[in-house]
Structure 1
Amino acid sequence: MSSLRAAVLVLGVLWAAFPLTPVGDVRDGYYDVLAAMCIAVAVVAARRLPPPVRCAWMLVVLGFAGWVAGELVSTVEQRVLGLDLFPAPSDAFYLGAYGLLAAGLLRLVRGRHTRQDLTPVLDATIVAVGFGIVVGTFLVGPIAEDAGTSALERVVASAYPVGDVLLIGLLVRLWASVGSRSPAFRLLLVAVVATTAADVTWNVLALTDPLADDPAWLDMLWLLAYVAAAAAVCSRSATSIGVGTVQTEAAASPHRRLVALGAGLVLPAGALAFSGLLELDVPWRLVSVGSVVVSVLVVVRMALLLRTVEEQAVQLAALARSDGLTGAPNRRTWDHELGRAFQAAEESGGPLAIGLVDLDHFKRYNDEHGHQAGDLLLREAVAAWSDLLRPGELLARYGGEEFGLLMPGSTPEQAAQRLQVMQRLTPRGQRFSAGVAAWTPSAEPAAVVEQADRALYSAKHAGRGRTRIANVTHDAPETPAVQVALQPIVDVASGAVVGHEALSRFVDGDPERVFAEAHRAGYGPVLEAAAVAEALAHRPAEGILSVNVSVGALVSEEMRCVLDADLTGVMVEITEQTDTDAWDEVAVVVASCRTRGAVVAVDDWGRGYSNVERIMRLRPEVVKLDRSLVADLSDPDRLSALRTLGEWARSMGARVCAEGVESADQWAALRAIGIELAQGYLFGRPALASDEGADGVVGGGRADTAVSPVGSL
């Protein structure tokens, strides 16, 4: 296409040189040759366009080619045959060109719109009728009233301005389209406007002075139309016109709409005023009927515009009150409907339940599956839960992964039952925690929502995946009796006992199973708090005492009460069997424990939820390796990995304790790679503490060694 654009530049230069040519046969020949060159370039360019737009542009080019053919035939008629006829054979080419060009423009218009829209048609019709009144007043009317011409002559002469009106209407129709500001469209606009201006001027001159020669600038206008048409087809943006683009009232430029409406209203009045100034006979019927038609069209157009504005207002209101991701009502709608629900409850005296729902471990789900999957989960959850809503109930996105529920006519107990059904419908195997509060007379909405929020966090601390009702005591099942067994922790280098780990024992079964069942039943934090309290009650006289606490229990109210005293000499082992999203709250509790003298450790590191992020967040003083990592230290690769872990822990300011040491070879290997602390059957099996308290020397192995001071950890 670069060669074609170069050809267009040449055509532009030749057009600019047209006034310099000698008047007469040379100029006429120059005109015909230049016009033919423009059509040749345009045809070649149109053939190279892709199929979706090729046919439309080819019709446009053929339309201009028809005018050029008419020019050539007219030259033959006048210069060769000496004919002075009207209508002449050349008029068939001229008038046929209007049809071809109109068909091309109409195809471009239809190609841009894949749906019916009346507004662009109205805009084009308004301008066409207004322009038609002007043309009818000053051109068609005088031609029709010329008694010195035949009916055929009057019809053919009138067909030219009527064709121009048709082209103007189609051009306005295309101009009102979205994206019609491309260079190709602007060049096409220049071509059609130049042609129309030249035609109208020629008709005016023919009426005022039929014997006068055409001025050179009039030929320049027609040539400009041919050059601009060729440039439009050669433009890179030619393919953007005619491609199916949905046209809507909302997308169209309002300035273009105003221009169309203004032009349609002003043109009839302008024609009337101009006729009065020139003291011409005014075709009252034409102007009156045309003005009424334009006015009716403008009224219809304004009605459609008003309807569009009303529809957009409704859409904007819906968007302003809806969550963009899930489509659920947003926080603004929640606040509004909450007040209305409270007012309705005051008037009716009926029950009203307010619920807050929070997806459990949503941050972890995002981290593991990606934010797109997290967004999809939110949308699917809203869709699933919304199906359970009754008339008058509301599910709104309260914030993040938290949702609010308004349940008029439901008691808190009924709402809790409904939430259990919602729990089962939560997609992708996820669960949520929920809190429910009840409306009471004269209660402030914010206060009731706060009660539901506290109940929600109570559900989280109770183990998640459950619903709590505000101001209702949730009695946990009777916790099994806890016994404490102490196992020595030794310094690897010297073998000296530096402390003990408190291990829970139950008469009813395996500790891991008992704790797991307690967490599933919702009283896990209560049982853990009881175990820690029992361990502190049997604290050895010397050395450090290590107690195990899960992340979920650490932030519970029960555990805070147990760990509320001086914690000097206590090591809080945060176990890896559970996960949490409330790391900010965990950090506050850990900092509080350290302030009261506690040492923080990460337990069973290397399995389960172990990750670097936990170490980075907690900054423990001790990292306890899971026993699976020291099971086979004869493997050089495993030993090398263990050494690397130790070096990394020390770089973080932590010491490493190896669990599950059962042989002297393991002890020697750990000592060789610089592991500081260890525990296991080699140094002493767990032994039940006496009711009077441990004496600091519990278990077998090297329990007879001196106890190191707590500061050694």
Structure 2
Amino acid sequence: MSPRRGGPVLAGAGVLVVGYVLLPGGRAELVGYAVLVWCSALVLLHAVATSPALRAWRPLVATQLLFALGESVSVAQRWDGRVAFPTSADALFLLAQVLLFVSVLGLLPAPRGGVRGGALLDTVVVTTSTALLFVVYTVLPAFAGQGHLAARLVAAAYPLCDVAVVFLLVRVTGWRSSRPRAFWLLAAGLSASVAADVTFAVLTAVGQDGAPRWVRVLWLVFYGCVAAAGRDPSAAVLGHPPLERRTEPELVRLPLLAVAALLPPAALVVEHLLPKDQDHGLTLGLATLVVVALVLVRVADLLRILRGQAVVVARQAGTDPLTGLSNRRAWNAEVDHVFTRAGGDPRLPLTVAIVDLDHFKAYNDTHGHEGGDDFLVAVARAWQRALPGVFLARWGGEEFTLLLPGLDADAAVAVLRAVHEAVPHGQTCSIGVATWDRSEVPPAVLARADAALYWAKRTGRDRTVVAGDHDGAGVDVLPPTG
């Protein structure tokens, strides 16, 4: 059997819709409309019946068959001139709307791991804004209208069903998983359905009886798009939870939030400019307050996320990507802080040390760059365990720096013996130490420690050298105890 194709089905549906538009009015147009609805439902039925992979589409097939049956009943009633509202066709349509919500919810499940709180709040904001307008302009007028209770309940139920469809559409707008073509066809059909329902409700509110042909065309677009989606090769992808990518920004729904916040006040402005029989100013004002409050909650949530991301970025900017230690940027910031604090307390000594791994180039040449990187990571972890609480940074390459506030040179040397002993894989290190004389700038202290390190390397390595006052000549040569 040849693979299904949604494109030809959509093209064929377009040709049939054009033919429907060219039909003469009256009974011919009613029959043509019902035939096209049945054709769309049967095309979807055939696609699902012949493909076990489309098991998730079965509820939608039942939905389309219910819609087709309802359209047939409606045509028969209009044929006989029986158009009293509500009719048995309305019962079929409302049942189909409920089943449509359930079936689309199954075809577009939440991503694995669930929906983010922010995405759910976005959906609530947009759906609430839309629902409030539906309530103001369709639901409340339907309840307040003429006729018996059943008629008013049915009239109010239709816009609520459209709100449910809006919820389905908004719910998936911010998911960043890949979108198959069947998804877009299904979304286009649902959008056309909502547009047709809203237009029909507005026309009914202004006193027009029945739906004009162009509104029926929108409903035919809905039926055709659903049939084309079921026939598309990507239809089998729907019904399975997508894998959500978590690295995308959280602002993908910002335009929708803006529209949601502006809808109630925009409706209030339009209502003020146009002649009207009823004044919904108070209701729309309350709706605006509700929507703006929800948007502010979402903005606060976005600010919380941005603050968290800023903390992560700042942490990453100050972290060496290989070893996970602080990098030179973080070292400079910590030095400024610690030297400032030590400058306010004359009794507080301050010592810095530079550590260099001996013969690292030879180790790197022997074990390869990956082996050398692994060794640097092992060294960093070993020194962190040996010196808990000491500020340790990777200065560059195989050089590391330590900040030792509260320790003079002798106490620092005693502590640094643990650095020598913790070097793994039988390797060694050399260390240069300098204590702040309280008059020099921090870079000068580090320069003296570097000079002491150079002296340690020249005099045999695997040792700690303490710098002199300013010359860095290395007044003490202290081999590690072993």
Q: For the structure 1 residues 521 and 310, does the alpha-carbon distance in structure 2 shift closer, same or farther, using more than 3 Å as the test?
A: closer
Q: Does 1:453 align with 2:450?
A: yes
Instruction: Say how many residue pairs are matched.
Output: 472
1:390 is displaced (CA, Å) by 4.5
Correspondent of 1:399 among 396, 401, 406? 396
Q: For the structure 1 residues 198 and 321, does the alpha-carbon distance in structure 2 shift closer, same or farther, using more than 3 Å as the test?
A: same
* CA distance, structure 1, for counterparts of residue 235 and residue 453 of structure 2: 59
Equivalent runs, 1:678-697 vs 2, <5 Å: none
* CA distance, structure 2, for counterparts of residue 428 and residue 239 of structure 1: 52
SS in 2 for 1:437: strand
Q: Deviations over 1:255-300 (max 9, x none)?
A: 522x222222222122223333132312456324322221221221
- Matching residue of 1:170: 168
Correspondent of 1:313 among 310, 314, 326? 310
- Matching residue of 2:71: 71
> Letter of the aligned partner of 1:384 in structure 2?
A
- Matching residue of 1:153: 151
> Letter of the aligned partner of 1:128 in structure 2?
T
- Matching residue of 2:85: 86
If asked which structure has higher relative contact order (CA below 8 Å, sep 6+), I would say 2
Q: For the structure 1 residues 301 and 109, does the alpha-carbon distance in structure 2 shift closer, same or farther, using more than 3 Å as the test?
A: farther
Contact 1:351 1:411 in 2 (8 A): yes
Give the TM-score normalised by the residue count of structure 1: 0.59
* CA distance, structure 2, for counterparts of residue 23 and residue 312 of structure 1: 61
1:414 is displaced (CA, Å) by 3.1
1:365 is displaced (CA, Å) by 4.1
Equivalent runs, 1:692-703 vs 2, <5 Å: none
Q: For the structure 1 residues 34 and 464, does the alpha-carbon distance in structure 2 shift closer, same or farther, using more than 3 Å as the test?
A: farther
1:77 is displaced (CA, Å) by 4.6
- Matching residue of 1:127: 126
Unaligned runs of 5+ in 2: 469-473
SS in 1 for 2:333: helix
> Letter of the aligned partner of 2:86 in structure 1?
P
Q: For the structure 1 residues 438 and 252, does the alpha-carbon distance in structure 2 shift closer, same or farther, using more than 3 Å as the test?
A: closer
SS in 2 for 1:111: coil
* CA distance, structure 1, for counterparts of residue 373 and residue 461 of structure 2: 21
Q: For the structure 1 residues 132 and 395, does the alpha-carbon distance in structure 2 shift closer, same or farther, using more than 3 Å as the test?
A: same
Q: Deviations over 1:337-390 (max 9, x none)?
A: 122222333322322221122333444444444444443333333233223445
- Matching residue of 1:383: 381
Correspondent of 2:267 among 243, 254, 271? 271
Equivalent runs, 1:566-577 vs 2, <5 Å: none
Q: Does 1:289 align with 2:289?
A: no
1:223 is displaced (CA, Å) by 1.4
Equivalent runs, 1:35-434 vs 2, <5 Å: 35-42=37-44, 55=56, 58-59=58-59, 62-79=62-79, 84-107=83-106, 110-112=109-111, 114-115=113-114, 117-147=116-146, 149-179=147-177, 183-212=181-210, 214-233=211-230, 234=232, 236=234, 239=237, 243-246=241-244, 251-252=248-249, 254=251, 256-257=253-254, 259-276=255-272, 277-283=274-280, 286-349=283-346, 350-391=348-389, 393-434=390-431
* CA distance, structure 2, for counterparts of residue 398 and residue 352 of structure 1: 19
* CA distance, structure 1, for counterparts of residue 309 and residue 5 of structure 2: 45
SS in 2 for 1:275: helix
Q: For the structure 1 residues 201 and 331, does the alpha-carbon distance in structure 2 shift closer, same or farther, using more than 3 Å as the test?
A: same
* CA distance, structure 2, for counterparts of residue 178 and residue 385 of structure 1: 42
* CA distance, structure 2, for counterparts of residue 330 and residue 166 of structure 1: 53
Q: Deviations over 1:14-67 (max 9, x none)?
A: 33443234444444444334333434444565689997x963x55555544543
Q: For the structure 1 residues 448 and 12, does the alpha-carbon distance in structure 2 shift closer, same or farther, using more than 3 Å as the test?
A: same
Equivalent runs, 1:433-448 vs 2, <5 Å: 433-448=430-445
Contact 2:392 2:401 in 1 (8 A): yes
- Matching residue of 1:604: none
Q: In angstroms, what is the RMSD of aligned CA positions?
A: 3.4
Q: Deviations over 1:72-110 (max 9, x none)?
A: 34335555x875453333323322232233234444665
Correspondent of 1:10 among 9, 12, 23? 12
1:427 is displaced (CA, Å) by 4.1
- Matching residue of 1:694: none
Higher mean displacement: 62-71 or 234-243: 234-243
* CA distance, structure 1, for counterparts of residue 265 and residue 61 of structure 2: 35
1:475 is displaced (CA, Å) by 6.2
The structure with the larger Rg is 1
* CA distance, structure 2, for counterparts of residue 385 and residue 310 of structure 1: 32
* CA distance, structure 2, for counterparts of residue 413 and residue 54 of structure 1: 77
* CA distance, structure 2, for counterparts of residue 427 and residue 29 of structure 1: 86
SS in 1 for 2:402: strand
1:145 is displaced (CA, Å) by 1.6
Unaligned runs of 5+ in 1: 478-519, 523-713
* CA distance, structure 2, for counterparts of residue 127 and residue 375 of structure 1: 51
1:462 is displaced (CA, Å) by 4.0
Q: Deviations over 1:409-467 (max 9, x none)?
A: 22333333333323333344544332222222212222221222233233334444443
1:175 is displaced (CA, Å) by 0.8
Correspondent of 1:20 among 19, 22, 27? 22
SS in 1 for 2:253: helix
* CA distance, structure 2, for counterparts of residue 521 and residue 151 of structure 1: 96
> Letter of the aligned partner of 1:397 in structure 2?
R
* CA distance, structure 2, for counterparts of residue 426 and residue 59 of structure 1: 66
Contact 2:177 2:245 in 1 (8 A): no
Contact 2:142 2:156 in 1 (8 A): yes
- Matching residue of 1:557: none
- Matching residue of 2:471: none
Give the TM-score normalised by the residue count of structure 2: 0.85
Q: For the structure 1 residues 37 and 262, does the alpha-carbon distance in structure 2 shift closer, same or farther, using more than 3 Å as the test?
A: same
> Letter of the aligned partner of 2:256 in structure 1?
A
Contact 2:127 2:166 in 1 (8 A): yes
Equivalent runs, 1:554-569 vs 2, <5 Å: none
SS in 1 for 2:344: helix
